[in-house]
Structure 1
Amino acid sequence: MAERVWLDVPFREKDEAKAAGARWDPGVKRWYAPRPGMTALERWAAQPDVPALLPGEDRGFGSGLFVDLVPKSCWFTNVRYCISERDWERVRRMLLGRAGHRCEVCQREEDREVRRWLEAHERWSFDWSARVQKLVRLICLCTDCHQATHYGLAQVRGQDAAAFEHLRAVTGWSEQDTQAHIEGAFEVWAQRSQVDWHLDLSMLTGAGIALAKPPAAATRTGIAIEELRAGRSQP
């Protein structure tokens, strides 16, 4: 059997890679070239793996399920928008692998039949005096936990009732406590949205991942509106 060669294929390019001869390993959840020397696949040649613990990462930071709203001034500054698609694939693969391909909150696996996926979410610290928004942790969440975390986006999509019930079920909170938590999260969001935060992604650059410049703060609200109108996901 010919030796397979692993590839880094962004999701958006999977059909193109498949047409060029790439194959998918469902167990490893990764694309590969079935034999060496396939020049049509060279553009997706694998880069070194991202370390399982990123430099300076605190994997105990922001554990559990809670509403974690992205300040309006920080929209489109998440990791997916700040690194290349190929590097995002490398980071995502590392994250899912170290989580054992389970949600790190509810411990459920991906289930295509009910459209439950595993997704990456960033945990940030906010230094008010320095106005620095620092990436502290990456966490693997299922679609339901991620939707509850981004409760504001769930409201925009008309999915807030489902997000509310999932948040309550996972945390064990009463309906009253869940509502109080959500209201408190929106108060924090309103305060943080008044600040143009400086982004600290040293956790990624320390792992050798190059950054792309995110959209200017003044343009992010307009971009988010257009993304939602087009039916795409807001960060």
Structure 2
Amino acid sequence: MATERIWLDVPFAEKDAAKRAGARWDGAAKRWYAPRAGIQALDRWAAQAEIPDLLPGEQRSLGAGLFVDLVPRSCWFTNVRSCVDQRDWERLRRMITRRAGHRCEVCGAAEDPGAKMWLEAHERWTYNDATRVQRLGRLICLCGRCHMVTHFGLAQVRGREKEAYAHLMAVTGMTESEAREHVEVAFEVWFQLSRIRWTLDLSILTDAGVTVTPPPDAAGRDTVATETLGRT
């Protein structure tokens, strides 16, 4: 009879330390485990309860398809991953990829380590102009190429604009002129959103038991964006 795995929650940044402590990797489950009970060096990575596939208040249909989804400038580089503990992020990442069937929820691509193509989590937000609240509404699983298109401004900064345009057209069927118009409209929306200092609402995470480190206030997030871009 097969022995049930003793699963661990190991953040990517700590995988080498976990391996040295005796952890083993299950390639099918894409998760670390303890080969036997009682290895005290692995206690720090003991698995916590799984995060539910549907986060409280999450809108799974929000922001379907591939489109340029630019967050306000004051929120650049202040994402969900930067606001949660690394172990909680590992639990979130595992849930997001699992419920997506380990494929991009837009184009259907799977991870391809040989091509350095990974599955990544992206935040879909809603904006309330009256209350100036930017609410996390959904976490979606995207491949690296779809994520690059979504963050089109970052693709430009990194010299990948042509690649982003090509993928946008390939997935959506847009013509070149339609794609350029789409990007132009997206930047106009971004410009309007960036005129407001938003308060972040991450309640779909906190209501699921995920510990959130309060992000900087709006003015502080703008400073983070400026400093990070300066190092890019």
Query: Into which bin does the TM-score normalised by the smaller protein fall?
Result: over 0.9
Displacement, 1:3?
A: 4.9
Match of 2:113 in 1: 112
Look up the equivalent residue of 1:214 and give its one-letter code: P
Match of 2:104 in 1: 103
Match of 2:77 in 1: 76
Look up the equivalent residue of 2:185 and give its one-letter code: G
| Identical pairs, percent | 61
Summarize the Cα distance change of 1:230–1:144 in structure 2 as closer, same or farther, 3 Å threshold: same
Equivalent residues in 2 for 1:202-221, closer than 5 Å? 202-221=203-222
For residues 6-62 of structure 1, give each alpha carbon's deviation from its aligned partner in whole angstroms, at most 9, with x where no partner exists.
Answer: 000111111111111111111000011111111001011111000001111111110
1:29 and 2:35 are equivalent in the alignment: no
User: What TM-score, normalized by structure 2, do the two folds share?
Assistant: 0.95
User: What TM-score, normalized by structure 1, do the two folds share?
Assistant: 0.94
Match of 2:16 in 1: 15
Q: Measure, in 1, the Cα distance between the counterparts of 2:30 and 2:231.
A: 29
1:64 and 2:65 are equivalent in the alignment: yes
Match of 1:169 in 2: 170
Q: Measure, in 1, the Cα distance between the counterparts of 2:99 and 2:195.
A: 36
Match of 2:140 in 1: 139
Match of 1:195 in 2: 196
2:104 match: secondary structure: coil
Aligned CA RMSD, in angstroms, stands at 1.5
Look up the equivalent residue of 1:62 and give its one-letter code: G
- The answer as to whether partners of 1:67 and 1:150 remain within 8 angstroms in 2 is yes
Which runs of 5 or more residues in structure 2 are unaligned? Answer: none
Q: Measure, in 2, the Cα distance between the counterparts of 1:230 and 1:15.
A: 27
Q: Measure, in 1, the Cα distance between the counterparts of 2:231 and 2:21.
A: 30
Look up the equivalent residue of 1:40 and give its one-letter code: A
Question: Which segment is superposed worse, 138-147 or 2-11?
Answer: 2-11
Question: Which segment is superposed worse, 106-115 or 74-83?
Answer: 74-83
Q: Measure, in 2, the Cα distance between the counterparts of 1:225 and 1:159.
A: 21
Aligned length: 231
Match of 2:46 in 1: 45
1:86 and 2:83 are equivalent in the alignment: no
Q: Measure, in 1, the Cα distance between the counterparts of 2:23 and 2:105.
A: 30
Q: Measure, in 1, the Cα distance between the counterparts of 2:222 and 2:199.
A: 17
**Runs of 4+ with >4 A deviation:** 228-231
1:183 and 2:184 are equivalent in the alignment: yes
Look up the equivalent residue of 2:44 and give its one-letter code: R
Q: Measure, in 1, the Cα distance between the counterparts of 2:231 and 2:12.
A: 19
- The answer as to whether partners of 1:3 and 1:35 remain within 8 angstroms in 2 is no
